[in-house]
């Protein structure tokens, strides 16, 4: 994705979240990393707020035109696929894309459970 954007003349800056992403980007494209957040296995709302504030401030401050979330989509224990979603600017149309998922918190046998529904 980085090469695609740079080929279009777009300046790319990266904010990493999590240990794996930070280690990977520091190894291969450290020159593009402007901030890092290592949240551990159970990120708190304070950490999420700090990350969202950084992204929103850069977007609203005319430093950033688009915020994209790049991640690996879990396929199986031995496979994952790279994926990307645009977070900002928000678009009222076209939000649902193929294989989007809705998660709903429910209870099952007296414990909390999460049900996943794939949007066709």
CATH of the domain at 67: 3.40.1380.10
Output the six-digit token pair for 111. Answer: 């414990």
106 located within any domain: no
Mean pLDDT of 108-115: 82
Tens of pLDDT along 56-69? Answer: 888 888 778 888 88
If one counts every other C-beta atom within 10 angstroms of the C-beta of residue 32, the result is 15
Question: What is the count of structural domains for the chain?
Answer: 1
Confidence of residue 78 (pLDDT cuts 50, 70, 90): confident
Domain that holds residue 51: 2-93
- Strand locations in 33-110, DSSP E? 33-37, 67-76, 79-88, 101-108
pTM over 0.75? The answer is no
Within-domain flag for 88:
yes
In a domain, 99, yes or no: no
In a domain, 45, yes or no: yes
Confidence class of residue 91 from pLDDT cuts 50, 70 and 90?
Answer: low
Structure tokens at 17: 């979240």
Strands annotated E in 9-48: 14-17, 33-37
């Amino acid at each position: 994705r980085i090469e695609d954007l740079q080929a279009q003349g777009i300046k790319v800056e990266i904010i990493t979240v999590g240990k794996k992403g930070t280690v990977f980007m520091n190894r291969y494209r450290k020159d593009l990393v402007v901030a890092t957040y290592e949240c551990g296995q159970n990120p708190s709302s304070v950490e999420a707020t700090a990350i969202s504030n950084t992204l929103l401030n850069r977007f609203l401050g005319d430093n950033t035109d688009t915020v994209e979330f790049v991640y690996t989509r879990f396929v199986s224990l031995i496979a994952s696929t790279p994926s990307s979603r645009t977070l900002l600017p928000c678009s009222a149309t076209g939000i649902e894309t193929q294989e989007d998922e809705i998660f709903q918190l429910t209870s099952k046998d007296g414990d909390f459970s999460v049900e996943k529904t794939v949007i066709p």
